[in-house]
Structure formats: C-alpha cells, structure tokens
Structure 1
C-alpha cells in the first residue's frame, strides 16, 4: 500500500513538473515574440526614417527625435461666415513636434504660430467646418501655412502635425 502511495505522488509531481516546464517555455516564447515585434519594428522604422530624411531634404515632415506635444496657451475663438448665419468657433490646438530642439523653437515662436493659425482658421466657412472632412481640410491648410511661416523665420520645419484637441461651433 505504501508503494502505491509513493507511486501516485511521483506520478502527480511528474504531471506538475511537466505543466510547470510547459508554462515556463510558453512564457519565454511569448516574451521573445513580444521583444521581437516591439524592437524589430522600431529598428526598421528608425532606419527608414533616417534613409528618407537623408535622401529627400525637401520633405516638409520632420522625422527625427521623439514625438512631443506643445499645447498652445489659449483656444482660438473666431467667427466664420455661413450660408444661413455667421457662426462662432472655438478650437483648442496642440502641435506635434519631434525632438527637444523643435519643442523649444515652437515654444519660442508661439505668437507667430498663433497668428498663422488664426489667419488660416478664420478664412474657413461654417458650412465646411460642420463636416469632418472640412475640419480635416482646415487642419491640413493650417499645417502647411504654419510650416511655411516657420520655414521662413526659423529655416527649418518645426511642426509635424496640428492637432485639434477641442472643436466647438455655435
């Protein structure tokens, strides 16, 4: 009877040991796969960005450095004409820049950025801004105008993207 009891315990611990080994192997495989997908993809992206910026110097997108967001201190409030009536619009904006140098340049030129964006925003139409596609067009126009203004003053493209973090139209 004692021999059967020992045999069962040995058999049970063998199953436990197999399950523990299988779980350990599974965890290692998942960790290795996660590492591969996470870091292998970034290396290719970094290499591609470096190749693009080295080969195409006229590209208006900045691709070096980490993404940083520069919030503008005040929302933009302005009137736009509409077919039925004029509308009041309020837009909160953040700027996507790459690297600490571009962040400090954007912070230094906030008045220029605000002036350029307000000029672009106020040239919109209420009927166009009521549709998402119209807001996208306005955002793209604001980005291209802002990049041109900063290119003339600073000599480089500072802002990669204009982001609307708030949009209200009354």
Structure 2
C-alpha cells in the first residue's frame, strides 16, 4: 500500500500544475467605429504550467498588456456582439501573447488565455 501511495505521489509531482497569472488591473477601453463609441472591460488570466513560466510572464506583463490593448481597440463593432466573436477574440489574444513571449522569452510559456470577465456595450 505504501509503495502505491508513493508511486501516485511521484506521478502527481511529475505532472505540471496549472497556475494562473491574473493581469490586473482589468483592461478598459473603446472599440469599433462610427458615431457611437463602444466600450469594453476585460479581465484576463493566463494559464502557465510552472513557477518559472509565471515569473517570466509577470516580468513581461507590460509588453503583453500593450499587445492586448492594441488588439482589443482594433476590434470591429460586431466582434464582441456574439459568443463566437468573443471566442475568436480570445484565440487571437492567446496567439498575440504567445507570439510576444516567444520573441522576448524564447518560448510561448502561456498555455491558455481566459476572460474571467468580459463586458462590452
């Protein structure tokens, strides 16, 4: 029994544990074009798999925030109107973050990007 528990403990230690890096404060800005200004508020968390990756992501947070602000502000009016549009934006934001980290840190580091809160009006 003790050997089985030890083996299970080693397996759990070998698997990387997901960690989330919250990008605070929330992103707030405007998007779209036309006579009516549209606003968004997005709270973003990044999933990484190690303490080292979390530290590198945190060290590069100003660059990542800039990339995301530029992406969010460039969205057309209809981009945040549907669930499909929001999912497409999430995937595009993940790709932007991974690209920036690959250039700065040498690897993508971030496994996923999550909107913990996304409001558009």
Q: Which has the higher contact order (CA 8 A, sep 6+)?
A: 2
In structure 2, C-alpha distance between the alignment counterparts of 1:107 and 1:114, rounded to whole Å: 11
* TM score, norm. by length of structure 2: 0.82
Q: Does 1:147 find its partner at 2:101?
A: no
* Larger proportion of helix: 1
Distance 1:102 1:74, change over 3 A: same
SS at match of 1:159: coil
Task: Confirm or deny: 8 A CA contact 2:42 2:118 kept in the other structure.
Answer: yes
Q: Which residue does the alignment assign to 1:104? A: 55
Distance 1:137 1:83, change over 3 A: farther
Q: Does 1:114 find its partner at 2:81?
A: no
In structure 1, C-alpha distance between the alignment counterparts of 2:35 and 2:120, rounded to whole Å: 14
RMSD across aligned C-alpha pairs, in angstroms?
2.1
Following TM superposition, the consecutive aligned residue runs of length 4 or more in structure 1 with deviations greater than 3 angstroms are none
In structure 2, C-alpha distance between the alignment counterparts of 1:84 and 1:115, rounded to whole Å: 26
Q: Does 1:130 find its partner at 2:64?
A: no
Task: Confirm or deny: 8 A CA contact 1:82 1:127 kept in the other structure.
Answer: no
Q: Deviations over 1:50-87 (max 9, x none)?
A: xxxxxxxxxxxxxx721000011111111111567321
Q: Which has the larger radius of gyration?
A: 1
In structure 2, C-alpha distance between the alignment counterparts of 1:83 and 1:74, rounded to whole Å: 28
Question: Size of the alignment, in residue pairs?
Answer: 111
In structure 1, C-alpha distance between the alignment counterparts of 2:79 and 2:35, rounded to whole Å: 13
Q: Deviations over 1:20-51 (max 9, x none)?
A: xxxxxxxxxxxxxxxxxxx7xxx7xx8xxxxx
SS at match of 1:112: helix
* Gap runs ≥5 in structure 1: 1-38, 47-63
More moved, 78-87 vs 147-156: 78-87
